[in-house]
């Protein structure tokens, strides 16, 4: 088991909605990219921008959740 001094085990439930949001956004990325390409825009910067913003958002979300829990 984890050797984390949890104040309340129910605090782990904060992770569940964040995991759902992360998975929805993970699946939305290829859909948005496909739609952009279907519209005829073939540049690569939208893909890189979505990757950068998504990575930064997930890191920020993880930090906020960990600071709240610990």
pLDDT tens digit sequence for 7-22: 677 767 777 887 888 8
Asked if pLDDT for residue 38 goes beyond 80, the answer is: yes
- Domain assignment present for 40: no
Q: What is the pTM of this model?
A: 0.62
- Domain assignment present for 38: no
Spell 35-67 as b/e; 16+ CB within 10 A means b.
eeeeeeeeeeeeeeebeeeeeeeeeeeeeebee
Question: Structural domain tally of the chain?
Answer: 1
Give the range of the structural domain holding residue 51, as residue numbers without chain letter: 45-70
| Burial class, 30, CB count within 10 angstroms (exposed 0-12 / middle 13-18 / buried 19+) | exposed
d(CA 68, CA 62): 10
Q: Output the six-digit token pair for 66.
A: 């960990």
- Domain assignment present for 3: no
- Domain assignment present for 4: no
């Amino acid at each position: 088991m984890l050797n984390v001094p949890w104040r309340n085990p129910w605090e782990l439930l904060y992770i569940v909605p964040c995991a759902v949001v992360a998975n929805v956004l993970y699946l939305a990325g290829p859909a948005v990219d496909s739609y952009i390409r279907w519209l005829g825009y073939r540049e690569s910067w939208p893909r890189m921008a979505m990757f950068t913003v998504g990575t930064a958002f997930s890191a920020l979300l993880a930090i906020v959740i960990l600071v709240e829990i610990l």
